Each structure stands twice: as C-alpha cells, then as structure tokens.
Structure 1
C-alpha cells in the first residue's frame, strides 16, 4: 500500500520536475541561468521543508495526518501549475506539501519493521522501486502531454497522479494498524479530517503571504553566501526545537542515541556530494538533452523529458537484484557496513561524470552527440543511487531514536536540500574558474567516496552496531 502511495506521489513530483526547466526556458522566456536558479531554489526548499514537517508530525500531528496534509497540499500545487499566473504559488504549495509528506511516509514504513530485522534494507529497496515506478511513468505521460500537447496538460497530469496517491493511502488505512498515530488511536476520526482539510487549505494564504514578504527580505537573503544561509536555517530550527521540547524528553536521549544521531549528521554531510551531482539530471543534463543531444531516431524525435525515465526504469529493473544482494550480504560473514555501501555509490556516480565530461567535450566540437552518451551516464548514476539512497534511508530509521524518527528523516533530507541548491547554482559558481562543471563533479563525487571509506571505522563506533 505504501509502495503504491509513494509511486503516485513520485509520479506527480517527477512529472513536474521533468518539465520545469525546459518549460521555463522554452515557454516562459527564462534564460539558462535564471531557469537553473529557480530550479535550485525550488528543489532545495523541497528537501528543506521535511525538517519542519517531520518536527510537526513527531510533536503534534502524527505521521498519518501529516502525510494526508502533504498530499492534499501538493495536489493543490500541481493543479495550480496548470495556470501560468500561479507559477510561484504552485511551487510554494508543492514545497510545503512535500515537507509534510516526504519524511513521514519513510518514517511510517520504518516503524513497521522490528529492530534488527534483516529484511529492512530489502524492504526499503522495494519501497524505493515504488518511488521509481512513478518516476519512470512521469516523463512518459506528463512529459509527453507537456511537450507534445500543452505544458499545462502535463502539469495537470501530475495533479491527477497525486490524487491517485491520496486515494490509495486513504483506502489502505486499515493495513497500518495503529502505526503513525500519536497515542493509542487506531483510525482517523471526523476531527482529524477537519484538521487535515483546514491545514491544507490554509497553506494557500500562507504561501501568498510569504511571497509578499519575499519582495522585502529576498534581496537581503540573496546577499548571504550559501554556508551562512544553511547556518541560519539550522539556528532557527534549533531555537524552535529546544524552546518547545519538554526538558524531560531531551534528557531521555542516551549517550548512545546521541552517538547515532551524530553518525546521521556526518553521513548526511557526505551525501551532499552525491546528490549535488545526481540532481544535475533535472537541470544541466536536461538542458544538454534539449540543446546538445541529437534526439532523432528514424523519423521520430525523442522528447527531452524521456531521458529522465532512464534512471527510474533502471531502478525498477535493478532494484530487486540489489535488494537480494543487500539481504544476502547482511547474512554473510562479509557484511558491508552502510558507509561502505554509500561510498561505493559515490564513486560510481563519479564514473558517470567521467562519461559526461567526454560527451560534453565531443558536443563542444561537433554541436551535438548521440543519445547513447546520456544513456550510459544515467545507467551509472542509477547503480550509484541504488548503492546509496535506499540503504541511507533505511540507516536513518535504524539509528534515529523512535520519538524523533520523522525529525531525523527531515535532517537527512536537509542534506538533499543543500545538494539540490548547489546543483542548480554550481554551473554559475564555477563560471570563470578553471574547473569545468563535469570535471569538478568527477573529483567531488569520487573524492567524497574515498574519504567516507577512510572514516568508516569511526562511523561504525558511533552507530553501535545498529547499521
């Protein structure tokens, strides 16, 4: 049930993501730099908002109500994308809705497994296949509608997908028992549904208010360098957390639990380097497919968005194999710790950028290259992702204390927020330097993987055998 819920939600997200940058450039008149900047801001906030969504779920809403609030809010955002005048309102609703949805569905899944259950990594890999089934269908359906029929038909299709995910989750409530509730509740009552609808609808005036304020605070915020921005966000959240959390709950965290939380933060820092490269898919790689790839096969032109279906298709096909490998490896004498699996993923990602750097060099000479170059780039990136992402998600649910489980998934997604923001701005940051974009990503991906391998013994001590 959670597989199908996540499949439809990811269909909506990736359908919109497959179209966003090329829509901004080809239909809204954005130049390359501004389109990538908006993409960076949007995707960065998409992964930052789970920090607050996880906190609100742990403390007030419970995971189930938070998931439904997120789903309804994202559905509103996707349908708003069908109207050009509502672009920024739509993006704001999608950011907030994702914040409620994303950390809580992963945390809800983790709560269904017993501690030290060897099936957990395999279970999360199959869940990850749900993510990528939706991500595979999205460019083919929403992408085709958007590029061939009309941009806003593609965005509306993403909204329909989100509604399907909501329906799946509502109809499957009984399968979850009492998981995802605060207290002893076993089902949603009328008051819960009233809260869900009021909070979801209230996101519209909230986003409009933020957009109005941004005209004043935006120029000031833009003046800060990236590390300062991240420090401000963390400081604000720390103040909110420690000023509202009852003292006795803070004291219940044992030394071992703090060690495990520290391990999550350290590995979260390293995955920034992975996602900074991987998330070029929706930005520079999408523009490379649109402008520098010969997409003609016979008399048919491959839609640009179709290239983004290679990665999820690879995950769906290779996911069961990786799930089997991780499950068998966990039962063997040579079980690989999570940091090693993640480091391998980073190194494979870097090899993908070796191929991409070669493709860019050929395109600079001849104007365009064949589609096989992007195929091999996405294939290597897919293998790297399977080594890192599902096992990393599983690791957080193993290491995080249960009472802050959704919050720690929000912290994990904070790394994605930083990475997505850097992914969109990286080309502009490197402009004028001696580092070509893809060459830089080769070094940053492989280098981070090697360092993570070197500090694995320290991380194993901090994890206390939990991952």
Structure 2
C-alpha cells in the first residue's frame, strides 16, 4: 500500500509533492537542455569529418549500427543515434523501477540516478566521452524516472482524488524545466559553443539533487525490501499487468510524433522554416521552449474545461482522453504538411510551427499525464514503481520507430514525411477506442 505523508501540506497536497515538483523541474531542465542541442550538435559538428574521428570507440559503434540498419548517411546516423538514445532513456526506468521496488528503495535509486545524469551531462562537454556520456545519462534516467514518478503516487491513498491533480502538477514541473532549458542551455550551445550548453545542463542536475536531499523527510518511506515483508502479487494482477503493457505500447503512436519534435523537426526548422523576425534569426532551440510553453499555457484551460464537462456528466474517460491525445498529435503533423505545401519560395512561414506546438500541447495534456495517472492507479501495489516505469515503454517504442523513420526524411518530400506521422498518431487513437471496453474490464476501471 502507498504510504501517505502527513507531515504538513503544500497548497492542499502533501509537502513532499513540492520537493518532487522542483526536483523534477531541474532534472528536466538538464535533460531537455541537452536534448535540444543533441541533433543540431551531431549533424552540424560532432559527426562531421574532423570531429567524428575524436569520439572514443565511435568507429566500432557506427559499424554495429550499420550491421543492423544498413549504410547510414550523416543525417540518418544522427537520427538513429538520437532514436536509440531516447528509446533507452525511457526503457531503463522499467528496470530502474524494479531496482527501486525490490533492491535499494526508491529514494536511493533516485539519488543514484541523479548523480549518474549529472556526470553524463558534464561528460558531454568532452567530445571523446560522447558515448560514455550517453550511457551514463541512459542509466541515470532509468534509476530516476520511474522511482520519482512512483513517489508522487505513494504520497496518496489509492482512492484520494488529489492523485490526478498531483500528476498534473508533476507534468507541469516537467514542462517548466523543458521551457526554460532550451532558452538557457540551447542558447548557450547554439550561439556561443556546444560545450557551454552541456555544462549548464550538468549544473541544473546538481541543483535538482540539492533540492531532493533537502526534502527527504517529507518523501514517502520506501516499501520493505525483505522478501518476507514485501507485498506480493494477488490473483488477477497478471491480467492487469498485461493490459497495462498493451495500452502503453499503443501510446507509442503519439510518442513517435513527439520524438520527432526533438529528432527530425529541428533539422526541418533549421533548413526549411523562415525564422527571420525583424532582422533577428530565431534560434532553432527556442522552438523547443515554445513546445513546453504551449503546454503550460493550455494546462489550466484544459483542467477547467474538464471540470466544466464533469459538471455536465460529459467529461471523457481516461481512455477516451488518451485516444483524443493521439488524434491531436496526428493532426499536428497535418499542419506541418500543409505548411510545407504552402511554402513561399521554398520557405515555410513561421506561423505554421507555432500553431503546430499548441496542437501538440493539447495532445500531450490529453494523453501523457492521464496515462501516467491511470498506470499509477491501476498497477498492482507489488510492482507499482516498475509499472510506472513501464509508462515509458511507449516512449521507448516511439524512440526506436522515430529514429528508424528519420532515415526516410532525406528521400521523402517533407510533406509526405509529416503525413506519414499524422496517420500513425490518428491510427493509434482509433485502435484504443476500438478496444476501450476490453481495457476497462481488464484494468478494473468499471
């Protein structure tokens, strides 16, 4: 069972939520700061002749990738690396959640993960350490993500209605960090030097560690780790686990689109979009901040809209919200294709990506926090952190697929490339709606 914390409240919630909120905001500052730069860094500098030779062990790494994926151009290689990085970043929380649940406890897992991530960001400042840096970030995120998210749910009893709003606050923290980091780390890296941006990300992670340590007394206590006292699976839990994993796999359809916002989309912005504004060229990384800002702007209106619907008994169920989120993601790609088709002298007007980010934000709000809350509520107590970590299974699949699809960007027309992603997003929403009743039964949501 969760261990609600009663040592004081913060805005109607356990005080521990405030420390988790700010820890997550700074962790995301560091993560998204580095991620905003990664594709631009690889395609514009690191993988170019004269620099790529300095990466320790890269020749063997590239050879292994080409055995699996075939010969790769510089852009396709960068896209594949980015896709694998994102996929592994969000796969390892499954293992990290199990380690937190069964071995070292969630608090120790979060701290170990944060230290590994800080080390990874600082190593990114050295070209030779590129591969060990990515590995450190992947392992660190695996230990931190699922366990920190599970600690949010552990602050509340299963039937506490504040749980959904707590996860909405948690996702808001993610987007605050994601908004600020491209403006800081992205600007430093894109305008002054890549290594300045990566170093700033490392310092952001250190701030997150300090905040987390300062609030340890307000965090939920870890579950017992001795075999005799651990909570065990109950009859029927296996069906719940399978249903959750299938649902999370379906959420990969909107994560495929979201992953391209950090993968191919920055290259499209750099090469195709007219970013001139009164003589000033808008940095590519600033659009990543717009992506997060759109979520922050729309979040309160979305919550108010759901409350308005609820009073009229018209609020969609969690599964319908997730399906709608997939659909919004798909429609956002239709906008990019339309903008490309209406390009003026080969340049896409900047208004198209601006509107794109707001439609993506609507999809994110309908899908991401709702899916996370649903997993936290429906997952059996014995493996709750592991399954909350499994929430990132959809992003793992999305990262793999988006990296593979990125290789076709050079051969397809951009409008066709984006319409392909539109079909993926909308198709995922339709499948969830088709199997909605089955999910309700298997997840005991009725």
* Structure 1 and Structure 2 fold alike (TM over 0.5): yes
CA–CA distance in 1 between the matches of 2:322 and 2:263? 24
User: TM-score scaled by structure 2?
Assistant: 0.85
Does the aligned pair in 2 maintain the 1:344–1:387 contact within 8 Å?
A: yes
Partner residue in 2 for 1:427: 406
CA distance in 2, matches of 1:250, 1:429: 48
The alpha carbon displacement at 1:410 in A equals 2.3
Equivalent position of 2:82 in the other structure: 39
Structure with the larger helix share:
1
Say if 2:36 is the partner of 1:18: yes
Q: Deviations over 1:54-100 (max 9, x none)?
A: 11111101111000000000000000011111111111100000000
Secondary structure of the residue that 2:445 maps to in structure 1? coil
Instruction: Give the Cα separation in 2 of the matches to 1:169 and 1:354.
Output: 41
Paired with 2:167 and 2:302, the residues of 1 have a C-alpha distance of: 11
Q: Are residues 379 and 162 of structure 1, via their aligned partners in 2, closer, same or farther at CA, if it must alter by over 3 Å? A: same
Residue in 2 that maps onto 1:53: 96
Deviation at 1:330, TM superposition (A): 5.8
Query: Quick one: structure 1 residues 382 and 81, their matched pair in 2 at CA, closer, same or farther if it must change by over 3 Å?
Result: same
CA deviations 1:211-242 (Å, max 9, x no partner) are xxxxxxxxxxxxxxxxxxxxxxxxxxxxxxxx
Say whether 1:156 aligns with 2:196. Answer: no
Deviates more, 1:368-377 or 1:96-105: 368-377
What CA distance in whole angstroms lies between the structure 1 residues aligned with 2:166 and 2:302? 11
Structure-1 separation of matches of 2:198 and 2:158: 41
Change (3 A) 1:330 1:404: farther
Distance 1:430 1:180, change over 3 A: farther
Q: CA RMSD in A?
A: 2.3
> 1: CA distance between counterparts of 2:268 and 2:412?
21
Pair 1:331–1:77, CA change in 2 (3 A): farther
Q: How does 1:180-199 map to 2 (within 5 A)?
A: 180-183=221-224
CA contact (8 A) 2:167 2:373 kept: yes
- Unmatched 5+ stretches in structure 2: 1-18, 49-73
1:448 and 2:428 aligned: yes
DSSP 3-state at the match of 1:53: helix
Q: Which whole-Å deviations, capped at 9, do the CAs of 1:4-30 have from their partners, x for residues lacking one?
A: 000000000100000000011112244
Secondary structure at 2:160 match in 1:
coil
> Are the counterparts in 1 of residues 409 and 417 from structure 2 also a CA contact under 8 Å?
yes
The reply on whether 1:69 has 2:125 as its aligned counterpart is no
Q: Is the Cα–Cα contact under 8 Å of residues 249 and 393 in structure 2 kept in the other structure?
A: no
Match of 1:49, SS state, is: helix
Residue of structure 1 equivalent to 2:352: 373
Partner of 1:321: 301
* Equivalent of residue 265 in structure 2, options 280, 285, 294: 285
Take 1:320 and 1:431, find their aligned partners in 2: how far apart are those partners?
39
Q: Do the aligned residues in 2 keep the contact of 1:348 with 1:380 (CA within 8 Å)?
A: yes
Tell me whether 1:27 sits opposite 2:45 in the alignment: yes
Q: Write the mapping of 1:36-435 to structure 2, written as runs, cut at 5 A.
A: 36-176=79-219, 179-183=220-224, 252-255=233-236, 257-326=237-306, 333-363=313-343, 366-428=345-407
Asked whether the equivalents of residues 43 and 420 of structure 1 are also in contact (C-alpha less than 8 Å), the reply is yes
**Structure-2 change in CA distance of 1:465 and 1:423 (3 Å):** same
- Please tell me whether the aligned partners of residues 122 and 327 of structure 1 are also in contact (alpha carbons under 8 angstroms): no
Q: Could you tell me which residue of structure 1 aligns to residue 26 of structure 2?
A: 8
1:334 Cα deviation after fit? 3.4
Distance 1:330 1:127 in 2: 22
Distance 1:446 1:40, change over 3 A: same
Deviation at residue 425 of structure 1 after TM alignment? 1.4
Structure 1 unmatched ranges of 5 or more: 185-244
Distance, in Å, in 1 between the alignment partners of 2:262 and 2:342 is 21
Query: 3-state SS of the aligned residue for 1:366?
Result: coil
TM-score of the superposed pair, with normalisation by structure 1: 0.81
Q: Aligned to 2:391, what secondary structure does the other structure show?
A: helix
Check the 8 A contact 2:224/2:230 in 1, yes or no: no
Check the 8 A contact 1:15/1:142 in 2, yes or no: yes
Q: 1:408 to 1:417 in 2, by over 3 A?
A: same
> Would you say the 8 A contact 2:124–2:133 is kept in 1?
yes
3-state SS of the aligned residue for 1:436?
Answer: helix
1:255-282 CA-to-partner distances (Å, cap 9, x unmatched) read: 1x23322321121121011100111111
Shift of 1:378: 1.1
Q: Which residue of 1 aligns with 2:442?
A: 462
CA distance in 2, matches of 1:126, 1:249: 30
- 2:171 & 2:312 partners in 1: Cα distance? 24
